[in-house]
A and B are shown apart, each in its own frame.
Chain A
Amino acid sequence: MAHRSEHVLGVDQLGKLIGVLARKGYEVIGPTVRDGAIVYDHVESAEDLPAGWTDEQEPGRYRLKRREDMALFGYAVGPQSWKKYMHPAEVRLWSAERQGGTFRILNNEVKPQRPHALLGARACELAAIAVQDRVLLEDKYRDPIYDQRREGAFIIAVQCTQAAATCFCASMGTGPQVSGGFDLVLTELIGPEGHRFLVATGSDRGVEVLTELEAVPATEEDRQQAEAGVEAARQQVRSIDTTGIKELLYKNFEHPRWDNVASRCLTCANCTMVCPTCFCTSVEDVTDITGDHAERWRRWDSCFTQSFSYIHGGSVRTSAKARYRQWMTHKLASWIDQFGSSGCVGCGRCITWCPVGIDITEEVGAIRDGGKDGNP
Chain B
Amino acid sequence: MIMATGITTDPMLPQPYSVRDVAKETPDTFTLRLEPEIAVNRSSFQPGQFSMLWVFGVGELPISISGDPALQDRLVYTVRSVGQATHALVNRRVGEGVGVRGPFGTGWPAEAARGRDVIVVAGGIGLAPLRPLIYQVLQNRDDYGRLLILYGARSPRELLYRKELAAWARNRETQVLVTVDYGGLGWRGHVGVVTTLFKYARLQPAPAVAMVCGPEIMMRFVTRELENQGLSRDNIYVSMERNMKCAVGFCGHCQYGPHFICKDGPVFRYEQIRNLLEKYEL
CB pair A312–B281 under 8 Å, yes or no, is: no
Whether B253 pairs with A301 at a CB distance below 8 angstroms is yes
A79 to chain B, nearest CB (A): 21
* B interface with A by C-beta (< 8 Å): 8, 10-14, 16, 18, 37, 54, 56-60, 80, 82-83, 86, 93, 95-97, 99, 241-243, 245-246, 248-253, 255, 257-258, 260, 263, 279-282
Pick the contact of B11: A96, A136, A141, A321 (CB < 8 A): A141
Q: In A255-309, which residues have CB < 8 Å from any B CB?
A: 279-283, 285, 287, 291, 294, 301, 303, 308-309
Residues of A with Cβ closer than 8 Å to B? 93-94, 96, 98, 101-105, 108, 135-136, 139-141, 143-144, 253, 279-283, 285, 287, 291, 294, 301, 303, 308-313, 316-319, 321-322, 326, 330, 334, 337-338
The listed residue (B10, B245, B252) touching A303 by CB distance below 8 A is: B252
Which of B8, B97, B279, B281 gathers the greatest number of chain A CB atoms within 10 Å? B281
Q: Assess A301 versus B252: contact at CB under 8 Å? Given A101-B97, A309-B242.
A: yes
Is A105 a contact partner of B13 (Cβ separation < 8 A)? yes
CB distance from A62 to the nearest CB of B (A): 27
A281-B246, A283-B245, A301-B251 given; A93·B16 CB < 8 A: no
A281 touches B252 (CB 8 A): yes
**From residue B133, how far is it (CB to closest CB) to chain A in Å?**
23
Contact partners of B82 in chain A: CB under 8 A:
312-313
List the A residue with the shortest CB-CB distance to B125: A312
Instruction: Please state if B243 and A283 are interface contacts (CB–CB under 8 Å).
Output: no
How close is B94's CB to chain A, nearest CB, in angstroms? Answer: 9
CA distance A101 to B252 in the complex (A): 32
CA distance A64 to B276 in the complex (A): 45
Contact of B251 among A140, A283, A312 (CB under 8 A): A283
In whole angstroms, what is the CA distance A136 to B252 when docked? 11
CB-based contact B99/A103 at 8 Å = yes
- 6 CB-based A-B contacts, threshold 8 Å: A102-B56, A135-B250, A253-B282, A279-B252, A301-B252, A334-B258
Interfacial chain A residues near B58, Cβ < 8 Å: 285
Q: Do A94 and B255 form a contact, CB below 8 Å, given A281-B245, A294-B56, A308-B243?
A: no
In Å, the complex CA distance between A94 and B15 comes to 12
Determine the distance from Cα of A321 to Cα of B95 in the docked complex, in whole angstroms. Answer: 47
A101 and B95: CB pair below 8 A? yes
Docked complex Cα distance between A142 and B253 (Å): 17
Contact of A309 (CB < 8 Å), options: B86, B253, B258: B253
Which of chain A's residues have a CB closer than 8 A to the CB of B60?
283, 285
Contact A141 B248 (CB under 8 A): yes
Task: Report the separation of the CA atoms of residues A5 and B198 in the bound assembly, to the nearest whole angstrom.
Answer: 74
CB distance from A258 to the nearest CB of B (A): 10
Instruction: For the complex, give the distance between the alpha carbons of A293 and B60 in Å.
Output: 16
Is there an interface contact between A283 and B246, defined as CB atoms closer than 8 Å? yes
Taking a contact as CB atoms under 8 Å apart, the answer to whether A140 and B13 are in contact is no
A102 touches B37 (CB 8 A): yes
A279 vs B250: C-alpha distance when bound (angstroms): 7
In the bound complex, what is the Cα–Cα distance between A271 and B271 (angstroms)?
A: 34
> For the complex, what is the distance from the CA of A139 to the CA of B263, rounded to whole Å?
10
CB < 8 Å neighbour of B57 from A140, A144, A285, A308:
A285
Besides A102-B96, A283-B245, A287-B57, 14 more A-B contacts (Cβ < 8 Å) are: A102-B18, A102-B56, A104-B16, A108-B13, A135-B250, A139-B263, A140-B263, A144-B10, A253-B282, A279-B250, A283-B246, A285-B57, A322-B281, A326-B255
Smallest beta-carbon distance A187→chain B, Å: 36
Does the CB pair B281–A310 fall under 8 Å? no
Q: Is the CB of B242 within 8 A of A93?
A: no
Docked pose: A173 CA to B27 CA in angstroms: 58
Closest to A334 in B: B258
* Contact A311 B37, CB 8 Å, known A141-B248, A281-B246: no
Choose among A101, A279, A318 the residue that contacts B281 (Cβ–Cβ < 8 A): A318
Q: Which residue of B lies closest to A254 (CB)?
A: B279
Q: Within 8 Å CB of B251, what residues of A?
A: 280-283, 301
The answer for the CA separation of A282 and B246 in the assembled complex, in Å, is: 8
Which residues does chain B contribute within 8 Å of A308, judged by CB atoms?
243, 253
Which B residues lie within 8 Å of A108 (CB)?
A: 8, 10, 13
Select one of B241, B243, B250, B279 contacting A136, CB under 8 A.
B250
Which A residue sits closest to B80, measured CB to CB?
Answer: A312
Contacting pair A282 B245 (CB below 8 A): yes
Chain B residues within 8 Å of A280, by CB: 251-253
Chain A residues near B14: list those with CB within 8 A. Answer: 96, 103, 105
Q: Do B252 and A294 touch across chains, with their CB atoms under 8 A apart?
A: no
Q: Give Cα distance in the complex from A260 to B57, angstroms.
A: 43
Contacts of B83 in A (CB 8 A): 312
Cβ of A294 and Cβ of B57 under 8 Å apart? Answer: yes
**In the complex, residue of chain A having the shortest beta-carbon distance to the beta carbon of B18:** A102
Q: Which residues of B contact A253 (CB under 8 A)?
A: 279, 282
Assuming the A-B contacts A94-B12, A309-B253, are A101 and B93 also in contact, with contact meaning beta carbons closer than 8 angstroms in the complex? yes
CB-defined contacts of B282 to chain A, threshold 8 Å: 253, 316-317, 322, 326
Q: How far is the CA of A104 from the CA of B96 in the complex (A)?
A: 13
Residues of B within 8 A of A318 (CB): 281
Contact A140 B242, beta carbon cutoff 8 Å: no
Which of A102, A294, A301 contacts B97, CB < 8 Å? Answer: A102
* Bound-state Cα–Cα, A74 to B14, Å: 48
Q: Tell me which of B14, B93, B282 has the highest count of chain A C-beta atoms within 10 A of its own C-beta.
A: B282
Picked from B59, B96, B245, B258, the residue with its CB within 8 Å of the CB of A338 is B258
Chain B nearest CB from A150 CB (Å) reads 14
A310, A330, A338: which contacts B243 (Cβ < 8 A)? A310
Q: Which residues of B contact A143 (CB under 8 A)?
A: 250
- Write out the residue numbers on chain A whose beta carbons fall within 8 Å of the beta carbon of B99: 96, 103
Give the chain A neighbours of B249 by CB distance below 8 A: 139-141
Is the CB–CB distance between A140 and B16 below 8 Å?
A: no
A139's closest neighbor in chain B, by CB? Answer: B249
Contacts of A135 in B (CB 8 A): 250
User: How far is the CB of A200 from the nearest CB of chain B, in Å?
Assistant: 34
